[in-house]
Chain A
Amino acid sequence: MTGLRATPFHGRVAEANKLNLWENWGGFTLASGDPGEALAARFGAVVVDISWHWRVSIRGERAGEFVSRLLTRDASRLRPGEALKALWLNDAGGVRGSGTMARMGAESFMLVSTAEDFGWIADAAALYGVAVRDVTAEEGVLTLLGPAAGKVLAAAGLEVDLGPLALRKFFWRGLDVMLSRLGDGFELWCKPDDALIVWDRIFKAGRGFALCPAGQRALDILDLENGAMQPGRDFAPARDGFSLEPSPQSLGLSGLVDRDHIFNGRAGTVGPEKVLAGILFDSETPAPQTVLLRNGFAVGHTLGSLVSPALRRAIALAVLDADAAAPGTALTAAGAACRTCALPFLPSPGSP
């Protein structure tokens, strides 16, 4: 038993975590925070420590071939500094994970996900003679979210003319850092030893923009409002090499599958399609992983569910039969009235 690890920002996060509420994900302890922080991200800017996100570096002569086979979209076509979102499937087509693959160099990639799956990637990489290394503990990562996030970074002296799903390395007043836009906002990557300096510089620059620290709950709320699904939180990924469930189509994730691309588990990506939709509840009682009924008949089920402070009601992601996915369809979940709505619930706080 190794216990929970602290992220490189832990010293500052502990000071900032006024409620002293903690969560643990991926073996790290992280601040839980207050749901109201999600509102702050919609008006100003917030900083969230996401160093716990699982990251694996993939290097080798055949790394391109490997990532191409691994993911449901062809990551080998990326140019250095670009990234894409994709799934990885087991042999039968069950979703083992979902994440972002970034190309760092000609023979070097980095996979980022909220759910760890090192054994699978390492076994598969061995077939190609490609070296994979879990680098989660070797970096500190902060995400800046909100309309003012770009301004905060500019004030801190970082150039932010970065497109979505792109990343770039900087030498930032004596520190080696990397800036990326893989999620809703910006991510700033640094060495663990530089973490506290980076935190302080960002907050110094953010003083004029009401920058505040936020916890994991705020990040989850923003994610859900944005319609983003995370393995482990919203669905249980396949933890076996041959299980058929959950298939990408049963999760409504076919948009992340390139059917012309050849990848592991491709044969399993046919079948009845479900639609990923949002569910708006009339109440403030979330209903995660609950069957959705229309006129007494099951038409799907919810995934993750939370109370959205911006919408002042409970919301949920759900996978639905296509005919029940039209926005406005009246449904019930465990007796509570709700209706279908299109995703995202709200525009991403980072979008202009």
Chain B
Amino acid sequence: MSDTFDALVIGAGPNGLAAAAYLAQAGLRVAVLEAEAAAGGGCANNLALGDLAVPVGAQTLYALDPRVVKDLKLVRRGLKFAARDLAQIGLRSDGKPLALGRDAYAAARSIAPYSQRDAERFVVFRRELFAFARVMRAMWWEDGETESQDELRRLAVTGAAAFLDAAFESEAMKAIFAFDAMAGGLSPAAAGTSLLFAWRAAQEMCGLQGAVAIPRVGMAALAEALSAAAGAACVEIRTNSPVARLLLSGDAVAGVALASGEEIPARLVLSNLSRRETLLNLAPADATGFATAKRLGRAPEVGEAKLVLALKAVPGFAAIQPAGRFVIAERLESCIGAHGEARAGRLPGELALEAVVPTMFDPSLAPPGVHILSVLVRPLPVSPEEGWPRLASRLIENVLVLLERHAPGLYANIVGLNFVAPKPSRDPFDVSHMLAPWRARISTPIGGLFLCGEAAEPVPALSCCAARIAAAIAVAHLKGEVR
């Protein structure tokens, strides 16, 4: 035991690396403890796909905190983008695809065949949503208050379905937003889910508001850039070091014990895991608080799964211009029903899909002639009655049928396939989470223990914003400042 650290970070995912880099920049001695053999978490290429390996987690970047990119000099450390602004393309069985790109007037032309009125409305809809979202950044990017309290109060009780019903008349325009409306396992009918659109619109990628980007060399590039930033700040990254439990002294954290039995003392611990995993699995049962432990005992009911395919040929819909991410959802209303079925533990009859083909933008991700199709599927039961291994085969079948309908011949071109089931370790998400102050999402009942991962974000997504703010709160805590 020669090393002593001021702060430990559990999990070397992007958020953990970012938090560690910020803590080290503040002058602390920091170690990151990673259970796996390599850093990167959900961004590392850990999922086998035939001869390839792809990341388990996010397939696009739409919420990466621009301040983290700047502070940690991620662009200089290798984070370049293969696609900066993916259009949102709705694949329809009742007409031509709907392409909503940055050019609002081009988007309006694509909407016009479905509804002339929606085409006119869309321009205003986006302008107003973006304007409101910019005001909300004071609350979602920083530890502050928004000025737009009246609009916030209105949206905080408005469900996504009601919000879209008020804005658009055509089913196609409502359905194209259905996938985004189910972020975090929420139903589009649930009160306040309209804020999910505002949150997405508040994000900025490559200087563009509400953009969706794909990094060059894949998501692993982000993990590598963050690793480099942490390394440059003298953070020690220990791989193959799963944390077994937290060490407490009184009601404050005193370090961690590794599965190997080694005990590492530290006054600060930042966890990249979910609140449930951190407090139920790592902390002693009582330190969490009796009511909190009971609340955390409830697992999320609805989540999302990821399906990755390796294809011999690019799928038919990839030819649509402008290039983008493909949303397959026929009707918003049926997504509400599907959410109910998923909650009941059954495989929904209708699904909402978001598909991207990263090799369209960066052919170096796969050998020549091979394309990767990455698909997120919502809403799905987290703990289905029949269990995931059995349900997965039925789900994959359904998804492939759906994809085949929009890209004939896709089935015959599959050379590799893998599947990631919904994670039960995730925290149940609800709208109140988006409205809570950062401090409430980041701090825990245990002094010196903070969350820095997706669980602390307003909406579960790859952002690193929580890591930046958690590091600031943790440093203030260490200095004894009341924040």
Contacts and interface: CB of A to CB of B under 8 A. Distances in A.
A267 interface: yes
B445 A91 contact: yes
Contacts of A123: 290, 294
Contacts of B294: 123, 241
A262 B285 CA distance: 14
Interface string A103-125: 00000000000000000100110
B289 to A, nearest CB: 4
B12 to A, nearest CB: 30
Contacts of A43: none
B297 to A, nearest CB: 9
A302 interface: no
A50 B292 CA distance: 34
A240 B286 CA distance: 18
Given A91-B445, A266-B251, A241 B286 contact: no
Contact of A128 (B250, B286, B292, B445): B286
B445 A267 contact: yes
Contacts of B405: none
Interface residues of B, number: 12
Nearest to B251: A262
Contacts of B250: 262
B388 to A, nearest CB: 28
Interface in B272-294: 285-286, 289-294
Contact of A241 (B251, B285, B295): B295
Interface string A80-96: 00000000001100000
A76 to B, nearest CB: 12
Contacts of B292: 91, 241
Contact of B290 (A91, A240, A266, A267): A91
A242 B294 CA distance: 12
Interface string B287-316: 001111111000000000000000000000
Question: Which of A91, A120, A267 has its CB near the most chain B CB atoms (within 10 A)?
Answer: A91
A120 B445 CA distance: 18
A264 B251 CA distance: 10
Contact of B291 (A69, A91, A266, A267): A91
A265 B290 CA distance: 9
Contacts of A1: none
Given A128-B285, A262-B251, A267-B251, A241 B290 contact: yes
A168 B156 CA distance: 59
A63 B250 CA distance: 19
A19 interface: no
Nearest to B285: A127
Interface of A: 65-66, 69-70, 90-91, 120, 123-124, 127-128, 240-242, 262, 264-267
Interface of B: 250-251, 285-286, 289-295, 445
23 contacts: A66-B286, A69-B286, A70-B290, A90-B290, A90-B291, A91-B289, A91-B292, A91-B445, A123-B290, A124-B290, A127-B290, A127-B293, A240-B291, A241-B289, A241-B290, A241-B291, A241-B292, A241-B294, A262-B251, A264-B289, A264-B290, A267-B251, A267-B445
The 6 closest A-B pairs by CB, nearest first: A241-B291, A91-B289, A124-B290, A127-B285, A91-B291, A69-B286
